[in-house]
Structure 1
Amino acid sequence: MKLEIAICDDDISTCSDLDLLLMDYGKENNHEFSIDIFYDEKRLYQMLTEGKKYEILFLDIELNNEHTGIDIGNYIRDELKNEEMKIVFISSKESYAMSLFEIRPTHFLIKPLVRNQIYKLMEKILSIFFRDDYFSFKIRGHIYKLKMSDILYFEGSNRKVKIVLRNEIIEFYSSLQEVFEQVKDRKFYFVHKSYLINYEKVIVFKYDELIMLNGNHIPISQAKRKYIREMQLLHEREML
């Protein structure tokens, strides 16, 4: 599988260094990459608008042009509705990290870029691409599969479970605990006895509720509030 990767940074040396590190990683680990480099955002916007698909985008936040990296990230998520692309933000300022969660980035890199840092990040991203990432369920004797990245959350009531996607709800007979056994290693968390959420599909964290990608509000039970806050802090630290 050849991965399509884009680098967008107005600093030529950063692009060159990152391109070399990625190619070295690919050669050393038998992975094939196709890498496009953009020194400003206009050509990248054009390519994305024309339908170009990238698996990974390394994106500088402080582009010295009309748009910032955050603008591009919002365009990818909100306008193109692309949740599959792994966005890795690059910046010389660590202060940006906590303001990027609505874009749901995979990681946040601080300049200057370091070989070990890039290698560790690529191992993490590739482990996501090459794992079995489907949720299986049964309706009337037939087995169905959904990509876990398409699932916003599960809602349980009695012996029925609703799978909530961005524009669809699927219902089948099971329990949330049985569902959890299948998704527990994929950043799905209980926030309430009736809700099992995909952490990567949360766009707003509040003390007593979460707002999901489709705008739905999910309550956090009192017993789960400390736990969810700890999970949020853990994932924020993992980005750095």
Structure 2
Amino acid sequence: MLTIAICDDDTNDTLRIAALVKNYMDARKISYQVNTFPSGEELLRIHKNFDLIFLDIGLNGINGILVGKKIRERDHNVKVIYTTSFHQFCKQAVNHVHAFAYLVKPVTKVNTEKQLDDILQYIQEEHEPSETVRFEILEITQQGEVETRIKDFEVKDIFYFEYFNRKIKIKLENKEYFFRDKMKDLAEKMLEHHFEVCHQCFLVNLRHVKKIKGYEAYLNNNDIIPVSQKKSAAFRKKLNQFILSNI
């Protein structure tokens, strides 16, 4: 379960953030708990570690920068998203408290959901061990000949596999490699590493799926890959199960 705190002395801002969080979590069927605090003093009195804190900088009493410093001293893992109406405080918040991000008020649905997407990605990566897989990739020599060599890949670095021109492409963030295999055999091999078939030509790493809209999957590297109508329901179910198991 994801534990979230909202600390803001403006009731309207607190209610808005809470509603945005609720809609986001409910839509993705993610278990969560939200606690609200009208002051930094009340937040600091609660000796509880949160996964995420929305923290207003301009609090009455102890300001948000000082509150963030005190919280960071006792919990190095908490993700802090600052909220503020004043741009000039944002750099100070990020530098002094190592805030995860900041949102300028009034906070918007788009910006809040983007930060929540990033938060979930970080939490998933923090809880998973390092895994590697090995493939015999194809390379073209300077003489124009095709050679093969063995290469290891970090599972978390692979965004997806694509069947392409009778070969399979390994898509990383900034690089591509090719090897020969059958998609069916590859899917069986990568199942234990949380890869799922979303289309007959695509096998995607669930860690990198940001959202599904219609029959398209949006990934963290801004790639958009197709989700077939036939596989859509099963793929969405697998994605939700993966998210829930890593929170």
For residues 171 and 186 of structure 1, what CA distance do their matches in structure 2 show?
A: 19
Residues 1:98 and 1:150: Cα distance change in structure 2 (over 3 Å): closer
For residues 72 and 145 of structure 1, what CA distance do their matches in structure 2 show?
A: 34
For residues 98 and 185 of structure 1, what CA distance do their matches in structure 2 show?
A: 28
SS state at 2:221 partner: coil
Find out whether 1:149 has 2:156 as its counterpart. yes
Paired AA for residue 101 in structure 1: D
Matches within 5 A, 1:229-240: 229-238=236-245
For residues 45 and 167 of structure 2, what CA distance do their matches in structure 1 show?
A: 55
Any stretches of 5+ residues in structure 2 without a counterpart? Answer: 1-6, 8-39, 51-65, 103-111, 138-146
Match of 1:136 in 2: 134
Find out whether 1:40 has 2:61 as its counterpart. no
TM-score by length of 2: 0.52
Is this contact kept in 1: 2:79–2:119, CA < 8 A? Answer: no
Residues 1:227 and 1:73: Cα distance change in structure 2 (over 3 Å): farther
Matches within 5 A, 1:85-104: 100-104=116-120
Find out whether 1:224 has 2:194 as its counterpart. no
Cα deviation for residue 234 of structure 1 reads 2.5
Deviations 1:53-112 (A, max 9, x none): xxx83224577895699x94468xxxxxxxxxxxxxxxxxxxx9998234433559xxxx
Match of 1:58 in 2: 78
Any stretches of 5+ residues in structure 1 without a counterpart? Answer: 1-8, 20-37, 45-55, 76-95, 109-123
Is this contact kept in 2: 1:189–1:199, CA < 8 A? Answer: yes
Is this contact kept in 2: 1:98–1:236, CA < 8 A? Answer: no
Matches within 5 A, 1:197-216: 197-216=204-223
Paired AA for residue 58 in structure 1: V
SS state at 1:185 partner: helix
Matches within 5 A, 1:67-146: 72-73=99-100, 100-105=116-121, 107=123, 125=127, 128-129=128-129, 133-139=131-137, 140-146=147-153
Residues 1:230 and 1:74: Cα distance change in structure 2 (over 3 Å): farther
For residues 115 and 246 of structure 2, what CA distance do their matches in structure 1 show?
A: 12
Percent identity between matched residues is 22
Is this contact kept in 2: 1:40–1:63, CA < 8 A? Answer: no
Paired AA for residue 77 in structure 2: L
Deviations 1:12-58 (A, max 9, x none): 455x6549xxxxxxxxxxxxxxxxxx9527x98xxxxxxxxxxx832
Paired AA for residue 235 in structure 2: I
For residues 149 and 115 of structure 2, what CA distance do their matches in structure 1 show?
A: 43
Cα deviation for residue 204 of structure 1 reads 2.8
Is this contact kept in 1: 2:136–2:148, CA < 8 A? Answer: yes
For residues 216 and 113 of structure 2, what CA distance do their matches in structure 1 show?
A: 22
Of 150, 172, 195 in structure 1, the residue corresponding to residue 202 of structure 2 is 195
Match of 1:180 in 2: 187
Find out whether 1:168 has 2:184 as its counterpart. no
- Alignment length (residue pairs): 162
CA RMSD in angstroms, aligned pairs only: 4.1
Is this contact kept in 2: 1:153–1:195, CA < 8 A? Answer: yes
